[in-house]
Structures are given as C-alpha cells and as structure tokens.
Structure 1
Amino acid sequence: MQIRNLQDYKAFGNSAGVSTASAQLTFQVEEDGNVSLPVLGHVPVAGLTRIEAQRKIEKLYRDSSLVNPLIELKIANLKVQAFGEIKTQGNFTLTKEYTSLIDIIGQAGGLTPAADEKHVKIIRHEKTGIRETYIDLSDINILSDPRIFLQADDIIYIAKNKRAVRDDNLQNVTTLIQPSILIFNTALIIYSLFR
C-alpha cells in the first residue's frame, strides 16, 4: 500500500539504542503528502511505502540529530467497511500494509449461508471516480490476484445468492397471500355452517 492521501502513521522513536520504552507519538500525513516531524520539519512521504517512509525518516534523523535512530511506522486509522451477507458488518481496521479481502472476511467472522461468494464487490473511490471490482471467492486463483488487497476507505459489499433471494421472494408472496387464504377459509366455514 502506498501513501497517497490523508493517512496516519505512528512513529515510535528509540535513539542511541536505548532499550527503555519511548513515548509514542502520532503524526498525520497531510493532504499535500508531507508529515511534520520534530526537528526535521515537513518531510514528503507521498508515494512511498511504509518501509520506504520508515527508512527515509531514519536516515533524516541519523543525518541531523540522532545516533542510530530506530523508527517504527505503523498505519493507523485506516479502515474499510463491510456490508451485506457477512456475519459482522461495519468498519474494520487495516492492521497490516497488505490486508486482503480474505483477512477482513475472517475478522468479520465469515460469510453468512445466504452470501453470494461468486460476486463480492469492492467499491473504491479514485481520482477518476468510483471503481467497482467483482471478486469470485470460489475461485482458488483469487489468492494470487492483486485486486483482493484493500486500501483505506474501500467498501466491501456481499450480496445474497440467488437461492436466498428466491426464498425471500417466496416468503414475501406467502406473507401477502396468507391473509387472503384465511379470509377465504373463514368464508367457506361460514357458508358450510349456514347450508
């Protein structure tokens, strides 16, 4: 995953190899792709992966003020949303740099029995507009498909399968017909009694 827009990083500093725990500081990557860091000021990190940004910041601190700085960058506050036929719906945090659709489905407790695993939709906002990608989870080759790796603010939607939709439609028809059948049966009983 590359840094493109507003993204939070947690920087954990440890200077001169000291083994004591340092204070955790959080710095946000601004819309212009820069992060404001103590001593360094504005550092451009747009377009860099997490590891590249970490190395760049370590080098800048090493060159300016710290001896053997250990900087650990973690992605924070990056979330995706999952809706539809998934056991737990809602927001899910991207806990690692390359979080896949499979990881999020696992965090959510899996798909419901009514899920259509052949047409899982990932909705992504891009500069050119909204892009929808359909993933077939029943295909084992999907594990090597780069489209399953999620980005911040992706929306995952899992629709109902055809059988579940058919069952829902049948239940709706039954719900509508049942009162009519009850009235008809009542009328037949009354007619039989008075005959």
Structure 2
Amino acid sequence: MHELSMRVIFLFSLIVLFASSCISNKRITYLQNLPGNEPIELDEFIPFAEYEKNYILQPFDVVDIDFASADDELTKVFEFQGSRNMRMGGAGMMGAGDLFFFTGYAIDADGYVQVPRLGKIKIAGLNEEQARLEVEEAIKAYFKDDVYVRLRIGGIRFTALGEFSRSGTMTLLKHRATIFDAVAMAGESDILAKKNKLFLVRQYDGGTKIHQINLNDRALLASPFYFIQNNDILYLEPMNIRQFGRADNLSSSLSLILSISSSLLLLVALFTRNI
C-alpha cells in the first residue's frame, strides 16, 4: 500500500512538472486571427492606421545638418571643424547610427541647436522638413546663390529590454520601421516571452505614455503602433515558467528536478521499509 502511494506521488509530480512546462502555440505564434477580432485573410489589403508619419523633434535628439552650395568653401564655415571629413571617412570605423552622435547637432533642453555662425535655432516641436526650412532660412542671409540644407535624424533609435536575445539601445537606419524590424534587430524573443504583452514606452511632446502591444494579434498590422518611432522603449515580459530557467536550459532544469524527486522518493521508500 505504501509503495503504491509512492508511485502515485511520483506520477503526480511528473504530471505537474510537464503540465507546467507545456506552452501553447497560441502564446508564441505571431500575427494570428484572435477571437473577437474581424478576421484578416491572406492577401487581404490592410490600410495603415493613422499615425504621426513625420517624427516631431524633441530636446536631446541628435540631428545631422549638411549644407551644399556653389561656394563649397563658404558652406564649411557653418559646420563644426572636421565633421564633414568624419562623416565621409569614419562610417567604416563605427556604426553609422553612432556616427551621427559625434558629427551631428544635439538639441538642447530648450529645443535649440547651436550652429556655427548662425547661432541658436529652435527646431524642437518641428518635423524634419520644418526644421530644415528653419535652418535654410537662417543661412540664406550669407549666400547670394541658392544654398541647400539637408537635415535628418540619425536613423530610428530604440531600446530593447526583457526577453530579447540582446538588450540595449539600437539604431535602425531607416526613415520608417515596423515593430517587427525592431524585434528582429533585438533578436527574436524566445518561447518564454509574453508576446501578447509587449510594453512600448513612447515619448510625446512634453511627456511619455506606456502602450501594450500583442504580437500574436494580426490586427497589429492596422494599429498605430505597427511603426516604431525614435526613442521608443520595448519591454518584453517573461512568462511565469521563466523561474524554472531559460528556454535553452529548461529541459535540463526539469531533468534535474525529476532526478532529485526520484532520489527523495527512493530514500523515503528505503527509510519506511526499515521502520
């Protein structure tokens, strides 16, 4: 009778352990037609949701400003010494996104950039094209001929935290990028991540909002959060089973637990027989 109860306990332990380790495909599969949503069929056209297509520049952003005119020597006066040469020759030595940090113009806390000769120009609160026109208007006073100004942010910078293959701040060298571009760059999350609870921290003019995104949901393609923006922060939560170990060593952890359980049951059986 005692031996039978030991077997029952052992089988029950196995069932609990394996049940806790089972993860439904519905929790790890991207872009599903989830219940309660209008199904989106294959090859169906999905219009983009309304979103702020033109990123609004904010304090502490870094922008690249370049000038071109018939008088090349004069345009050099309006650039920091050596920045043009660094842009042309330094891209091979470091990531192009990082290069903008060294050669670009930082927007200060009050929203201004300091441009040689031109002084402070306020561009925070404007999109790239509006900011470009502001700088172009300021420099025209020094030129008889037309002068062209190029102003752009140094790619889309975002920060990935949590259950990604790698975390940290990264740069997508695109003018427009999707949430899946960011997930791919950060390393596709393992099976122990809550893909239905990706938190997106987004900077707005004067503040911040936290949004929750479901990567399992096909309706995300029509969401305003399908495209990421500069300075977004992505945080991917782990599942509760994460306490047993990472995806790559979960089987080892379960094997260890089962070995310890078997040893304890054997010791209990031997001890009770000797009583």
TM (norm. structure 2) is 0.55
Going from structure 1 to structure 2, the CA distance change for 1:128 and 1:58 (only over 3 Å counts) comes to closer
Q: Work out whether 1:16 is the aligned partner of 2:70.
A: yes
Q: Work out whether 1:5 is the aligned partner of 2:59.
A: yes
Q: CA deviation at 1:155?
A: 2.1
Letter of the structure 2 residue corresponding to residue 88 of structure 1: R
Q: Work out whether 1:145 is the aligned partner of 2:223.
A: yes
Going from structure 1 to structure 2, the CA distance change for 1:78 and 1:141 (only over 3 Å counts) comes to closer
1:109 pairs with one of 174, 187, 191: 187
Q: CA deviation at 1:146?
A: 1.9
| 1:57-97 deviation digits (Å, cap 9, x = unpaired) | 22332343363323222323863221222222221125344
Separation in 2 of the partners of 1:60 and 1:123?
35
Instruction: State the partner residue of 2:19.
Output: none
Going from structure 1 to structure 2, the CA distance change for 1:129 and 1:63 (only over 3 Å counts) comes to closer
Q: CA deviation at 1:120?
A: 1.0
| 1:165-190 deviation digits (Å, cap 9, x = unpaired) | 5976x988986685464244245447
Letter of the structure 2 residue corresponding to residue 11 of structure 1: I
TM (norm. structure 1) is 0.74
SS at match of 2:173: coil
Q: Given that residues 155 and 175 in structure 2 are in contact (C-alpha distance below 8 angstroms), is that contact kept between their aligned partners in structure 1?
A: no
Letter of the structure 2 residue corresponding to residue 182 of structure 1: S
SS at match of 1:147: coil
Could you tell me which runs of 5 or more consecutive residues in structure 2 were left unpaired when the two chains were aligned: 1-54, 77-83, 88-102
Could you tell me which runs of 5 or more consecutive residues in structure 1 were left unpaired when the two chains were aligned: none
Going from structure 1 to structure 2, the CA distance change for 1:11 and 1:49 (only over 3 Å counts) comes to same
Indicate the larger mover: 100-109 or 122-131. Answer: 122-131
Going from structure 1 to structure 2, the CA distance change for 1:49 and 1:129 (only over 3 Å counts) comes to closer
Q: Given that residues 75 and 96 in structure 1 are in contact (C-alpha distance below 8 angstroms), is that contact kept between their aligned partners in structure 2?
A: no
Separation in 1 of the partners of 2:60 and 2:202?
15
Instruction: State the partner residue of 1:154.
Output: 232
Q: Given that residues 115 and 161 in structure 1 are in contact (C-alpha distance below 8 angstroms), is that contact kept between their aligned partners in structure 2?
A: yes
Separation in 1 of the partners of 2:244 and 2:198?
20
Separation in 2 of the partners of 1:161 and 1:130?
26
SS at match of 2:104: strand
Instruction: State the partner residue of 1:50.
Output: 128
Separation in 2 of the partners of 1:46 and 1:129?
14
Q: Given that residues 12 and 73 in structure 1 are in contact (C-alpha distance below 8 angstroms), is that contact kept between their aligned partners in structure 2?
A: yes
Higher relative contact order (CA 8 A, sep 6+): 2
| 1:138-164 deviation digits (Å, cap 9, x = unpaired) | 2223223223443444321112346x5
Q: Work out whether 1:27 is the aligned partner of 2:27.
A: no
Instruction: State the partner residue of 1:185.
Output: 266
